[in-house]
Structure 1
Amino acid sequence: MDVTAQTDEQIVRALAAGDRAALAQAFDRHAATMTRYLWAIVDDRHDVEEVVQDAFLLLWQRAETLDLPAESLLPWLLVVCRNLARNAGRKRSRHRADELPEMLAAPVEHSDAVETLRWVRSEIAALPELDRRICELCLLEGRSYAEAAETLGLTVGAVTQRVSRNRRRLKKVVMHDGH
C-alpha cells in the first residue's frame, strides 16, 4: 500500500506496532498545521518547536491505547499541543516567579541591570494598590499564589490572573521603554 495514502487510523495502528516510518508520516502530515496553531498561542520559537516534538513523542508513547474520535489524528494532536503549551507556560511562570525575587535582590554589577531593576520596581509601585500588593508578595517576596491569596482574602485564581496580567504589563513597559 502507498504510504501517503494511509489514513490517520492506519498510521496510528502502525505506530502502535512500532513503525517509525509511520511517525515520520504523521509528522510530515500534521507538523506544519500544529506549528501554525501553536504560533497563535505561544510566542517563543523554542517553545513552539518543543511542544510539537513533545506532542509527537506523546503520540508515539500512547499509540497503542489511542482511540481516534474522528478520522483525523489532527484534533487529538491540537488538543495535546494546547495542553502542553499551557503546561509549559505554567512551568515558565512558576520559574520566573521563583527567579524574580532573587534577581531583584541580588547584587548587580552592571549599571544597565541596576537601571532595569529600578524601572521594574518603579512600575510595580505605580500599579493599583491590590495589584501592587500582589506583585510585592509573589514577585518580590517570593510568596506562593496560595499564600498571597490567603493574605489578601482572594482566591488563588484571582491572584494568578492578576500576576499574569501584571507580569505581561511590566514586561511590555520595560521592553518598550528600552530598559
Structure 2
Amino acid sequence: MPIDDHAALRELHDRHAAAVWRYVVHLTGSPANADDVVQETLLRAWRSPRIIGQDPATARSWMFTVARNLVIDDARSARRRHELVDEPPELAVDDRTDQLFDTLLVEEALAGLSADHRAVIARAYFGGRNTAELASELGIPEGTVKSRLHYGLRALRLALQERGVVR
C-alpha cells in the first residue's frame, strides 16, 4: 500500500471510526462487538481502494452500510443462533424422588401402627417433645410413654422391613 493510501486510510479512520462505533453500539448494545465491527469495516475499506479516495460523505455512508450489514450477518449467523446470550446457566436441582418414596413408605408404616404407638412416636420425633412433655400432654405416666415408644419403634421397624426399607 503506498504512503498516500496509508494517510488516506488514517484519515478515513480519524473521520469516521468513532461515528461508526457509536452506530454499531446503538445497533448491538455491545461495545466489544462494536470494536470488532469497526475494525472489520476499516479492513474492508482498505481492501476496497475506490473508497479510500472518495468524498468524505460517500465514504461515511459506505462505512455505515458495511457496518450495518456486518451486524446483520452476525445476527443471522449459525454461531449466534446457537449461542445463549445473557442467560445464567441452569442450576442443578436435587432429585427428590427417593426422598418422596421414603416419606410415603414411612407414612404407610406409621399408619399400620396402633393409635397409641403412632401418637407417641409422631409427637416425640416430629414434635420434638421429651418423655416428660409427652406424659403431661397425653395424661399418662412417663414409664408408659417410654414403653409405647420402645414397642412402637419396634413395630415401625418391622413394618419398614416388610416394605424393604430397613434390613
Q: Same fold (TM over 0.5)?
A: no
**Taking structure 2 as the reference length, what is the TM-score of the superposition?**
0.44
Structure showing greater relative contact order (alpha-carbon pairs closer than 8 Å, 6 or more residues apart) = 1
Of the two, which has the highest radius of gyration? 2
